[in-house]
Chain A
Amino acid sequence: MTKMSKIVRTIASIAFPFAMIYGLYVIAHGHLTPGGGFQGGAIAASACAMILVAFGSKWTLDKIKEKRLSVFESLGGIGFIAIALLGLVFGAAFFNNFLTGSNFLFGTIPATGSGLADINTGGVLPLMNFAVGLKVIVGLFVIVLVMAYAATSFKEDKK
């Protein structure tokens, strides 16, 4: 994909932070409002894809180190499994929610029934949301990036 016009590039760079922050908001409030790691990750990944479409895959690949993307994806996956294993250590079983009711991070139990949102609830769910969100952002972005780059090099080969 080649670079698009200056108007598209300017609008994309203005809209990128808002879309990214909205995606991170959906991830962070996954245990309170509709949303979660997957949905917020998809929103943030589409923000990254917008930058990719506006600026072209060559520019994006120059700006971003491939190794760093790999590290982020591994961090998401390993964090997810590590939190699950911590449930085995501190709680009773794999994927046990050991932080609920512990008066520690995210340990509060909300009042039963309809109520206002309290961010300090949910046990391990917010942490898992963050891990899966990181994994989904980087995974979807890498898929789009690699396919765009392959299409570009394919077009150059044909010429």
Chain B
Amino acid sequence: MKKNIAIVDYGLGNILSAKQSFVKASEDNKIKAAVKITNDPKEIDLATHIVLPGQGAFEACMLGLKNIPDMIDRLCANVIHNKKPFLGICVGMQLLANTSYENGKHKGLGWIRGEIKKIPSTGIKLPHMGWNEVTITNKNKLINLSVLKNYYFVHSYYFDCKYSTNQIGRTNYGIDFASFISKENIYGVQFHPEKSSNQGLEIIKNFLML
């Protein structure tokens, strides 16, 4: 069956890389997939897989999403009710939380219980920028490994999960934080799989196989 991948475009960041990486992962693994960058809520209904990328500030991203009429409604209908596979990347993952404390207090989508907090900057540089390890703490369908692998991170805020069952992988930078979260069909990664070379493309492939 052909997969329809909708990458949600709400006007922020470099999402072409996200698209290219999904195209590459599908071609390399002979997965039939149409990858579309879209800001049309109707495309979310037609999609089999939904990707929410994100770069920049939480508030600006949330506002960008809200400013597309019906987009949040269609995302809820397709992800929460129809259980379509969903992947949030970086700020796209953070938007899943209830609340963010980045420059004030802002409401998120609230799909996975948690809060977005600043990484304590004592003795370390922020943003947390570069390649770091993810230790898998819960069995899952996207990263199947017993050895550590490196992924590319760029962020200053982290997802503080309310329930440890939602934390699938963790990373250390000053503190241990949830770098990979999940709840049923919903996945979120703090790092950038689209910028994490072969190990990132492998996650994308596994997501496409869901």
Partners in one complex: no
